C-alpha cells in the first residue's frame, strides 16, 4: 500500500522516544491511542504497543493480526486476547513492582487504566506530553505526506467558485465540495486528540451562520443541522453580499492540513473586505517572523496587536467567546503542538507543522479571515499551498 513509512523512519521515531524515556527514568511506555500507534508503527490495528526504554518494542495485536506485516513493522509482534496477556508480556519484559510505566493518561479512559493497574504492578506516569512534543517536529517523510494532503485540498478549494450560485444552501454547497474531496481520496476520518472532540471534516458558514459560536475550541462555530450536533453547516440559503467562510481539513494519508478561504456572490461590504485584508496581513506578518527560536506567544501577541491597531480586536478570533490561540500544530491529529497562544513561552523549531488562522467574527453578519498550513524553516514559514488568500467574489 502507498505511503507506508520505511522501517528506518519508524526506528528513528521509536529511538527518539526511547531517549526521552531514558532521560526521565521511565522503564517503558504502553501506548494505546490510535494516532500514537500510527506514529510509531505506520499503521493501526486493535493493538497495544510496548516501547521499553532499552531494547525492542512489542506490538500486541488483538485484531487484525492478518493486517500486520512483520516485514514492514520493525517490532516484535504478539497476539493478545485480554489485559492479562498484556500483563504477562510486560512482566516478561521486566515491568514489575519497582518499574515506572508511561501511558497516555490524557486520553486513556479511567476504566481501561484501572483494569491495567490491577494487572500490572508498577508505578504509572503520564507520557502524553512527551509524545506530543516528539510528534510536533515532523520528519521530511511526514512533510511529504502533508504536501500530498495540501495538494488535494488546494484542488478542492479551486473548484468552489464554479459551484457557487445564488440560493444554493450551505448544506448543498458543502455536499458538492465534499464529493470532490472524497473523490480525490479524502479519507474522511479526522483525528482530534482528547475527549468529546465531536468533529466533521469541514464547515461552510455563510452570512450570519459564520457568527454563531459553538462548543468547539475554534474561532468558528455554526448552527449545524440538528441540536444533537450543533456545529457547522446549516440549511441557510446563500445570498448576494454574504461572506462565505469555507474551512476544511484535508487528508489523503492520515496527515491533515487545514485551510480556510472566503467567497462571496456579487460583492462584500467594505468593512468585511477591510477585515479580510487585515487577516491576510496578520498571517503574512506571522509567516515572515516565525522561525526557529521565536516564542509561540510572541506570534500570538503580534497578531493581537495588529488586530488592535486595525481597530478590530472586538471581532478577532471570536466575538463574545474568543479562543486564545491564532494557530495550532497539525499532523496525525488536528490539535497538535505548537499552540500559537497566549502566554506560551516555548520556542518554534525547524520542521514544526502549523495552521495559522487569523479570523474575524461579526455576530449577525458572518466570519472572514484566512487559514493555511505551514512548515517552520530557518528563514520563516513555508506555505503548503499557493492558492490566493484574497476573498473570491463570483
Residues 81-140 that bind a second copy (CB under 8 A): 103, 105-114, 126, 128
Measured CA to CA in angstroms, residue 367 lies from 84, 242, 361, 364 at distances of 52, 9, 4, 10
Contact with a second copy (CB under 8 A): which of 9, 12, 20, 44? Answer: 44
| Smallest separation, CB 117 to a second copy (Å) | 10
Q: Which among 88-96, 186-194, 270-278, 351-359 is the span making contact with a second copy, rule CB under 8 A?
A: 186-194
Residue 243 binds to a second copy (criterion: CB under 8 A): no
Per-residue mark of binding to a second copy, 255-284 (x: CB under 8 A): x-----------------------------
Residue 70 binds to a second copy (criterion: CB under 8 A): no
| Smallest separation, CB 172 to a second copy (Å) | 6
| Smallest separation, CB 201 to a second copy (Å) | 8
| Smallest separation, CB 318 to a second copy (Å) | 9
Select from 217, 154, 157, 149 the least CA-distant residue to 186. Answer: 149
| Smallest separation, CB 23 to a second copy (Å) | 22
Q: Which residues, 6 or more positions from 211, have their beta carbon under 8 angstroms from its beta carbon?
A: 319, 361, 362, 363, 364, 365, 366, 367
CB of 24 or CB of 288, closer to a second copy: 24
Residue 332 binds to a second copy (criterion: CB under 8 A): yes
CB of 67 or CB of 118, closer to a second copy: 67
| Smallest separation, CB 378 to a second copy (Å) | 29
Q: How far apart are CA 2 and CA 324, in angstroms?
A: 38
Q: How far apart are CA 127 and CA 112, in angstroms?
A: 16
Residue 43 binds to a second copy (criterion: CB under 8 A): yes
CB of 126 or CB of 347, closer to a second copy: 126
Give the number of residues in contact with a second copy, rule: CB under 8 A. Answer: 77
CB of 189 or CB of 240, closer to a second copy: 189
Report the phi/psi class of residue 215: left, alpha or beta, with left for phi > 0 and alpha for psi in -120 to 50. alpha
Residue 364 binds to a second copy (criterion: CB under 8 A): no
Residues numbered 194-223 forming contacts with a second copy, rule: CB under 8 A: 194-196, 198-201, 212-217, 221, 223
Q: How far apart are CA 171 and CA 128, in angstroms?
A: 37
Q: How far apart are CA 244 and CA 189, in angstroms?
A: 24
Q: Which among 151-159, 226-234, 294-302, 353-361 is the span making contact with a second copy, rule CB under 8 A?
A: 226-234
Residue 53 binds to a second copy (criterion: CB under 8 A): no
Q: Where is 304: in which H helix or E strand?
A: helix 296-309
Sign of CA dihedral 273, 277, 282, 286: positive
Residues numbered 301-320 forming contacts with a second copy, rule: CB under 8 A: 320
CB of 155 or CB of 285, closer to a second copy: 155
Residue 254 binds to a second copy (criterion: CB under 8 A): yes
> Phi then psi for 212, rounded to 5 degrees?
-90, 120
> Phi then psi for 231, rounded to 5 degrees?
-155, 130
How does strand 28-31 pair with strand 46-52?
antiparallel
Contact with a second copy (CB under 8 A): which of 133, 172, 271, 382? Answer: 172
**What do you get for the CA distance between the two ends of the chain, in Å?**
40
| Smallest separation, CB 312 to a second copy (Å) | 20
| Smallest separation, CB 284 to a second copy (Å) | 29
CB of 183 or CB of 346, closer to a second copy: 183
Q: Which among 37-45, 263-271, 275-283, 366-374 is the span making contact with a second copy, rule CB under 8 A?
A: 37-45
| CB of 371 closer than 8 Å to CB of 260 | yes
**What interhelical angle do 110-119 and 83-92 show, nearest 10?**
50
Residue 167 binds to a second copy (criterion: CB under 8 A): no
Select from 381, 201, 221, 157 the least CA-distant residue to 288. Answer: 381
How does strand 380-383 pair with strand 372-377?
antiparallel
Amino acid at each position: 500500500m502507498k505511503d507506508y513509512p520505511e522501517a528506518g523512519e519508524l526506528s528513528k521515531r521509536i529511538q527518539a522516544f526511547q531517549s526521552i524515556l531514558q532521560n526521565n527514568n521511565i522503564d517503558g511506555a504502553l501506548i494505546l491511542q490510535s494516532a500514537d500507534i500510527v506514529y510509531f508503527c505506520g499503521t493501526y490495528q486493535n493493538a497495544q504497543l510496548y516501547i521499553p526504554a532499552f531494547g525492542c518494542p512489542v506490538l500486541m495485536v488483538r485484531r487484525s493480526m492478518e493486517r500486520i506485516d512483520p516485514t514492514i513493522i520493525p517490532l516484535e509482534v504478539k497476539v493478545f486476547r485480554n489485559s492479562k496477556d498484556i500483563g504477562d508480556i510486560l512482566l516478561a519484559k521486566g515491568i514489575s513492582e519497582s518499574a515506572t510505566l508511561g501511558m497516555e493518561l490524557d486520553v486513556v479512559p479511567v476504566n481501561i487504566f484501572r483494569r491495567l493497574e490491577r494487572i500490572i504492578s508498577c508505578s504509572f506516569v503520564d507520557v502524553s506530553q512527551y509524545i506530543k512534543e516528539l510528534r510536533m517536529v515532523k520528519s521530511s517523510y511526514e512533510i511529504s505526506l502533508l504536501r500530498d494532503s495540501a495538494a488535494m485540498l488546494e484542488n478542492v478549494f479551486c473548484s468552489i467558485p464554479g459551484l457557487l450560485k445564488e440560493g444554493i444552501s450551505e448544506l448543498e454547497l458543502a455536499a458538492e465540495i465534499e464529493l470532490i474531496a472524497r473523490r480525490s481520496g479524502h479519507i474522511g476520518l479526522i483525528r482530534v486528540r482528547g475527549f468529546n472532540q465531536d468533529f466533521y471534516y469541514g464547515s461552510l458558514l455563510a452570512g450570519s451562520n459564520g457568527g454563531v459560536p459553538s462548543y468547539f475550541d475554534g474561532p468558528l462555530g455554526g448552527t449545524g443541522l440538528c441540536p444533537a450536533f450543533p456545529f457547522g453547516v446549516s440549511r441557510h440559503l446563500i445570498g448576494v453580499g454574504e461572506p462565505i467562510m469555507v474551512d476544511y481539513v484535508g487528508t489523503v494519508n492520515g496527515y491533515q492540513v487545514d485551510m480556510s478561504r472566503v467567497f462571496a456572490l456579487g460583492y462584500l461590504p467594505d468593512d468585511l473586505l477591510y477585515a479580510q485584508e487585515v487577516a491576510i496581513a496578520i498571517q503574512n506578518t506571522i509567516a515572515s517572523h516565525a522561525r526557529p527560536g521565536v516564542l509561540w506567544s510572541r506570534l500570538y501577541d503580534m497578531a493581537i496587536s495588529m488586530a488592535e491597531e486595525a481597530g478590530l480586536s472586538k471581532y478577532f478570533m471570536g466575538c463574545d467567546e474568543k479562543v486564545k490561540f491564532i494557530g495550532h500544530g497539525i499532523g496525525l491529529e488536528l490539535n497538535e503542538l505548537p499552540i500559537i497562544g497566549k502566554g506560551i513561552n516555548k520556542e518554534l523549531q525547524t520542521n514544526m507543522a502549523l495552521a495559522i488562522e487569523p479570523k474575524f467574527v461579526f455576530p449577525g453578519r458572518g466570519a472572514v479571515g484566512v487559514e493555511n498550513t505551514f512548515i517552520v524553516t530557518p528563514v520563516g514559514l513555508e506555505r503548503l499551498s499557493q492558492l490566493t488568500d484574497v476573498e473570491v467574489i463570483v
